Structure 1
Amino acid sequence: MFRALGRRRAVLLLAVAALITAPGPATATTTTQPLPDGTFIRDVGEGSVYRIAGGAPIYVSAWAAFGGQQPYVDISHAQLLTLPEYPTDGTFIRGTATGYVYRIAGGAPVYVSTWTAFGGPQPTTDVDQVAIQNAGRGGKWNHIRYNPADQTFVRGTATGQVYTFAGGAPIYVSNWAAVGGERPAVNVDQAALDNAGSGGPYDHVRYYPEQGTPLVTLDNRYWTVGEGVARRIEPGDFSSTLVDLLAVLNAGQPGQWSHLIGHVA
């Protein structure tokens, strides 16, 4: 009798051990390997889910954005903090709710009106449209900027024209020498620049710099933008975006110069 009880106890202990060492839900795994674009991850510390795009974690507000729960990888909060803050410039993403496609420039989504602008369809990662709409609003939403970072250089695919961002708007660069030499530039759809601020997917680029944006030109002239007009100011203890002097002097002219309305010397 005691032997039978011993055997039963052994079987019970083995069953308990199996439960303790069994893996979690079939949808969850853990990894320390690099995470390819498209991977869903869960921060086990906070329970938040993200999708990797351009190496960065883009918040998933609801599984419904992807047609239901998807397989995901568990990572620690410390691991999450080691990932890039924003997707790599040049990354293409598509909002699941709208189908809108964007190209990342300066951490922000710049609208792609047609694949023709890039010679045809390109590899794209689907992300939660809500993450795009709430870009830059703090916390989990901060892995996408709402507007490109200052001093982000872009090139319009249709024209080859180069711009640098200041206060969320593209300021024309007539010559690389005007901004201290050639810089890496992200190719973007020219339509996103021409239609900046016109609503919907175009609103991730401003037409005129944000009110109070400070500018500096290579000759050490300082300006501040108010209602689209660049006004000369005295140098101060503040960070300014380097822009082409001709973009200030030709402000208000049509075409590429029109992202400033005028200037006051």
Structure 2
Amino acid sequence: MVSGQAPGHAEHRTVYVIAGGAPIYVASFDHVGKNQPVTNVSLAAIHNSGGTGVWNRLRKFPANGTLLSGQAPGHAEHGTVYVIAGGAPIYVTSFDHVGKNQPVTNVSLAAIHNSGGTGVWNRLRKFPANGTLLSGQAPGHAEHGTVYVIAGGAPIYVTSFDHVGKNQPVTNVSLAAIHNSGGTGVWNRLRKFPANGTLLSGQAPGHAEHGTVYVIAGGAPIYVTSFDHVGKNQPVTNVSLAAIHNSGGTGVWNRLRRRPADGTVVSGQAPGKAGHGTVFVIAGGAPICVYNWANIGGSRTATNIDLVATENAGKSGRWQYLSYYPVDGTILLGYGSSKYYHVSKGRPQELPSPTPSEKGRAVAVDQQAIDRAGQPLTHLLGPQSAGGGTGPSDETTPAGGSSFGS
């Protein structure tokens, strides 16, 4: 154990226990054993851990494979064990999964709970770093030994090491941690789906789509034609292209959605192109135009996607992760109007008496998009003419779609 010394500093005399080469904050000596010797060190050595030169004698985060036991007598999670992967603590259900007779370091459970924090809590990550490789261990299970690469906090199945880089270290974790990713309590150190804005590159040497890049929006991979549309100099994580192609599947494939979750807000980016900056809300897999933030209840965080992906939505191949029109059966709520609509073959039809179930699964969208159905950016078809054909509004030039907020 070490005590960081810096008289006058708010963290002067804070105590840390070394685990896997990194200093982990100790909230109470009860958590690490009373009457243990403590060595005074410069607090700057703690703050600069993971650095170079004179600062390279402490790691920023514990080494992969380090085992921690979270200590907090009386707490329901007292004594729970975690294995470090990519700087984050992943819950272990059995020592059989990480190697028996491995040393375990006691740490304050609070350090686990506050991982990813600032100040004294910044020596554990909330989620493993992008590119971290995990192997799910559960002897006898059909998925025992399956390998995953972390992207945006979520484990994405790897079909070949050729896709993520050979000779990369792999950390054994309990397969249950993969299966319960996105959960609460001990399971909240892996995401169910990658975070919005995560960039993936689908790897499959020899395939026509090898190297294609996607941005995550609402859990789904949306094809990117140019880094100018999602932000230059962003990190990109290599994944198996098969994980993209099988998104929305079951078993090992269930860590990417087929299409973005309902209610996801995206902004279509294509500098210099008409429609650049248009905001959409996803409903039934389709991007529905938002003409003003007030029309959906106020501003929200929007994920930048490629505007070209919205224009090619519904096509095959790399474009298939957005629908052009909402899938049949989607229920829309015109925000502020209290009107509910059932979408059939791309057309919203008002429901005079929606059921509680229909209300419960309705997606709030801009009422103007429904009123302007038939204009391209709405991604809704207009009403049919009396003769059963398509009404004239289906080919109307969008009004306001490219000038968001008007």
Using structure 2 for the length normalisation, give the TM-score: 0.55
Amino acid at match of 2:234: Q
CA RMSD of aligned residues (A): 1.7
Take 1:120 and 1:106, find their aligned partners in 2: how far apart are those partners? Answer: 21
Q: Equivalent residues in 2 for 1:166-185 (5 A)?
A: 166-185=283-302
AA matched with 1:134: N
Distance 1:128 1:206 in 2: 23
Q: What is the match of residue 247 of structure 1?
A: 369
Gaps of 5+ in 1: 1-27
Partner residue in 2 for 1:190: 307
Equivalent of 1:75 in 164, 167, 173: 173
1:138-177 C-alpha deviation (Å, 9 max, x unpaired): 1211110010000000001221110000000000010111
Q: Is the 8 A contact 1:93 1:102 kept in 2?
A: yes
- Alignment of 1:102 onto 2:214: yes
Percentage of pairs with the same residue: 43
Decide whether the 8 Å contact of 1:157 with 1:189 is kept in 2.
Answer: yes
**Matching of residue 137 in structure 1 with residue 257 in structure 2:** no
Aligned 8 A contact 2:163 2:238 in 1: no
Residue 9 of structure 2 corresponds to which residue in structure 1? Answer: none
Give unmatched runs, 5+ long, in structure 2: 1-63, 67-82, 89-127, 139-143, 181-186, 205-209, 271-275, 385-406
Residue number among 115, 129, 146 corresponding to 1:36 in the alignment: 129
Cα drift, residue 65 of structure 1: 3.1
* 2:356 partner SS: coil
What secondary structure, in the 3-state scheme, does the structure 2 residue paired with 1:42 have?
strand
**3-state DSSP class of the match of 1:192?**
helix
Q: How does 1:9-88 map to 2 (within 5 A)?
A: 29=65, 31-32=83-84, 33-34=87-88, 35-45=128-138, 46-66=144-164, 68=166, 70-80=168-178, 81=180, 82=187, 83-88=190-195
Greater relative CO, 1 or 2 (CA 8 Å, sep 6+): 1
Contact residue 295 and residue 367 of structure 2 kept, 8 A: yes
Q: Distance in 2 between matches of 1:84 and 1:119?
A: 23
Distance change (3 Å), C-alpha of 1:113 and 1:205: same
Q: Match for 1:201 among 318, 324, 338?
A: 318
1:92 and 1:190 map into 2 onto residues whose CA distance is: 16
How many residue pairs are counted as aligned between the two chains?
A: 235
- Return the alpha-carbon distance in structure 2 between the equivalents of residues 129 and 42 of structure 1: 19
1:128 is aligned, of 236, 240, 254, to 240
| Structure 2 counterpart of 1:224 | 342
